[in-house]
Amino acid sequence: MENAGFLLAAFSIVWAVLFGYVLVLLNKQKKLQQEIVSLKEALKEKKG
Amino acid sequence: MSFWRKVFAITWKDVLAEMRTKEIISAVLVFTLLVIVIFNFAFGTSPDVVKLVASGMLWVTFAFSGVLSLNRAFVMEKEEGCFEGLMVAPVSREIIYTGKMLGSLLFLLIIEAIALPIFAFLFNLGVFSWQLIVIVFLTTVGFVGVGTLFSALAVNTKAREMVLPILFFPIVIPIIIGAVKASESALSGGSWGDISSWLGITGAFDVIFLVVSYLIFAFVIEE
Amino acid sequence: MKRYLLLALSFTLMVVSLYFVFVWVPTERMMGIVQRIFYLMVPTGWLTLLSFLIVFIGSILYLVKREEKWDILAYCSGEIGLVFTTLALITGSIWAKPIWGVWWDWGTPRLTSTLVLWFIYLAYFLVRSFASEPSRGARFAAVVGIVGFVDIPIVILSTTLWQGMHPPPLIFQEAGLDPRMMLTLQVSLIAYTVLFVILLIARVLLKNSEVDIRYLKEG
């Protein structure tokens, strides 16, 4: 069971990074949503 | 054969410009010698160290000098606004690539031809083997083949000269590895057989990237 | 609906692969339990290459057809590819320490080729940010994508030849694979590839929105 720490480390890092990447994508999406909302507002004001 | 005539027209233009100003060759040559001197102080000159390090030193020097020289390849065009002129002329992009490439090749070979004997002199190495000459030639062709493409690209970016090394070095690592290993063998009097596989790799690299760069060049300098 | 199916598939595959890797597969005799990192290392290495293949294809199609969707595909594959290349380097290094006793070995074609590829990926993105406009950046990146991909076999070849002269620190014969290990490897490969596809789709959708918003703002 020696070196099991390395095994754990490898899997943890891979999953952490992948999760992290997904979080980054989700964050970006949230920001984009906000931008869409503000753009829609701007358009409404232009029309009105 | 008007293809080659146009190509040589471009190469000759660069050679003439260079002969007038001696910009590229003098700057790069001085740089090369300085790097060699710095390496000398960095590693010392005891024969054992030199034996270990000589080949690597040589090629690090040439790699950096190569980038320096390639950086200048399109700068003149960019600054004097000659790009537009070149593009309007009835010259295909491929001709521009080949002409520029040959010009850079010529300059680098001249620099290397001067630097090698000096290198041998400073480090007491026997440099004159056909193997080494072939290695240097093939590797330089590889540098210039890809380098001309990337140089045109780099000149059109915001960071200009800084981009070229970042693009260029990872791509040419295979031929640098080959050059260092083969030069090691050549410097210690190895035979053609020892370096044949490295020469093969470098040769393949040259052919592949000359073709690829030739084909893609047009995409880089379209406006 | 399709999206959820794909997600469910990926999740299932991942769980299954974890079972294979941690419960089912026998422990390798010489290297012990650490050897299981292998089932991470090969998939990340594979995805590194797959992503770059997609970058390559996208780049060619973009240069030829000039349709932005190809540039978007290449960009997104490049981004995910960069992530997986980083992971490949990390897992490769974590593998190297217990097996060969060193964190890094310049002689291993796997590690050094991946490192070079990492730099090429990096160049792919740097060129975009250094270009004066996004359309130029896309064009230049496509050039890097094509040249980089063509370079890969040569890099692998030269690093392998280099290794021939510098044997790894501890010579471990990665002995022929027990069929159960092969199966585990294949399951892992499929699981991670499906994950890759999901990430790619997600990233492309996101990028599409980014591009749309950019056009809206400019218009």
Q: pLDDT tens for residues A23-35?
A: 999 999 999 989 8
Distances (CA, A) of C98 to B124, B157, B200, C43, C129: 43, 44, 36, 20, 39
- Which residues on C lie below 8 Å from B156 (Cβ)? 131-132, 136, 140
Nearest-by-CA chain B residue for C123: B167
Distance CA A35, CA B83 (A): 40
Q: How far is C10 from chain B (nearest CA, A)?
A: 34
Contact A4 C90 (CB under 8 A): no
pLDDT digits (tens, 9 = 90+) for B161-199: 788 999 989 999 999 999 999 998 888 777 788 788 899
* C32 contacts A3? CB cut-off 8 A: yes
Nearest to B185 by CA among B40, B51, B13: B51
The residue ranges of every structural domain in chain B are 2-221
Q: Average pLDDT, stretch C11-24?
A: 84
Please give the residue of chain C at the shortest CA–CA distance from A12: C91
Instruction: State the best of A14, A30, A31 to mutate against chain C, taking most chain C CBs within 10 Å.
Output: A14
What are the backbone dihedrals phi and psi of residue C28, each rounded to the nearest 5 degrees, phi first? -65, 140
With beta carbons under 8 A apart, name residues in chain A contacting C32. Answer: 1-3
Provide the pLDDT for residue C102: 84
Instruction: Judge whether residue C91 has pLDDT over 80.
Output: yes
C4 inside domain? no
Tell whether the model's pLDDT for residue B24 goes beyond 50: yes
In a domain, C7, yes or no: no
Are B171 and C122 within 8 A, CB to CB?
A: no
What domain range is C94 assigned to? 34-168+181-218
Average pLDDT, whole number, for chain B? 86
Is residue B27 classed exposed, middle or buried when 0-12, 13-18 and 19+ CB atoms within 10 A define those classes?
Answer: middle
Q: What is the ipTM of this complex?
A: 0.88
A29: left (phi over 0), alpha (psi -120 to 50) or beta: alpha
Q: Indicate yes or no: CB of C34 within 8 angstroms of CB of A4.
A: yes
Q: Is residue C84 part of a domain?
A: yes
- φ/ψ of C178, rounded to 5, equals -55, 135
Q: How many domains does one find in chain C? A: 1
Residue C12 lies in a domain: no
Chains that touch C (3 or more CB pairs under 8 A): A, B
Q: Tell whether the model's pLDDT for residue C38 goes beyond 80.
A: yes
Is C in contact with A (3 or more beta carbon pairs below 8 Å)?
A: yes
d(CA B24, CA B30) in angstroms, rounded, equals: 10
Task: Please answer whether residues A14 and C93 qualify as being in contact, where contact means their C-beta atoms are separated by less than 8 angstroms.
Answer: no
Q: How far is CA C79 from the centre of its chain?
A: 10
Contact residues, chain C, for A6 at CB < 8 Å: 34, 37, 94-95, 97-98
DSSP run (H or E) holding C99: helix C68-100
The Cα–Cα gap between C90 and A17 comes to 11
User: Which pair of structure tokens corresponds to residue B138?
Assistant: 């093939």
Taking 70 as the pLDDT cut, the residues of chain A under it are: 1-2, 48
Report the residue of chain C nearest A4, measured CA to CA: C34
CB atoms within 10 A of CB B95: 22
Give me the torsion for CA of C139, C143, C145, C146, rounded to 10°.
130
Tens-place pLDDT, residues C169-184: 544 445 556 778 888 8
